Amino acid sequence: MTTSPPSPLQPPTVRPIVAEDAAQVREDLLANWGSTQIWSLGRRYDADRLEGFVAEIDGRHAGSLTLALHDGAWQCEVITLASRVERRGVGAALLVAAENRARSLGCKRIFLTTTNDNVHAMRFYQRRGWRFSALHAGIVDRVRRYVPTYPLVGLEGIEIHDEIEVERWVG
């Protein structure tokens, strides 16, 4: 009896979010942030209404990224990035799609913020060539005054107080 070789791991494909992706994107947001409302730099975003990209592997949803434009498209902010199938290139492919989108819109800079507990994300972005551009010390504490449900303890048991801004110049 012959056995067929295992199928090779398929790389992720990435495409813009369409209306039919709403439920999956919402699931990504709830799984990672517990809400579709995301705070960054003291601003609140309804991330389920933003433009962005989804990644698929073998036709199945594998992750999503949402984006917001600022300052007349001078710069572009990644609001959320979530991978359901880690270490298969989903995060990197979504980030490259966001960089290309920013470039195509004429943005000079693309940036995002991550909270101080997310050491894995800080590593991930730096490995992809993004650089730290600012520390927003205590900004989460200030947001928490108005949003008491914002959790105090984050990843790896680290208290969440700050946002770290990371950027890439694309213009």
Ligand X SMILES: CC(C)(COP(=O)(O)OP(=O)(O)OC[C@H]1O[C@@H](n2cnc3c(N)ncnc32)[C@H](O)[C@@H]1OP(=O)(O)O)[C@@H](O)C(=O)NCCC(=O)NCCS
Contact 143, 42 (CB under 8 A): yes
Question: Does 124 participate in binding ligand X (rule CB under 6 A)?
Answer: yes
Binding mask 72-111 for ligand X (x = CB under 6 A): ---------xxx--xxxxxxx-------------------
Each as own residue / partner, the long-range contacts of residues 64-71 (CB below 8 Å, 24 or more positions apart, any chain) are 64/17, 64/21, 64/24, 64/25, 64/28, 64/94, 65/94, 65/95, 65/97, 65/98, 66/17, 66/25, 66/38, 67/98, 67/101, 67/102, 69/105, 69/107
Binding of ligand X by 127 (CB under 6 A): yes
With contacts defined by CB under 6 A, name the span among 34-42, 102-110, 118-126, 130-138 that binds ligand X: 118-126
Report the residue number, 51 or 106, with the smaller CB distance to ligand X: 51
Per CB under 6 A, the list member of 121, 141, 144, 162 interacting with ligand X is: 121
Task: Return residues touching ligand X (CB under 6 A).
Answer: 9, 32, 81-83, 86-92, 112, 114, 118, 120-121, 124, 127
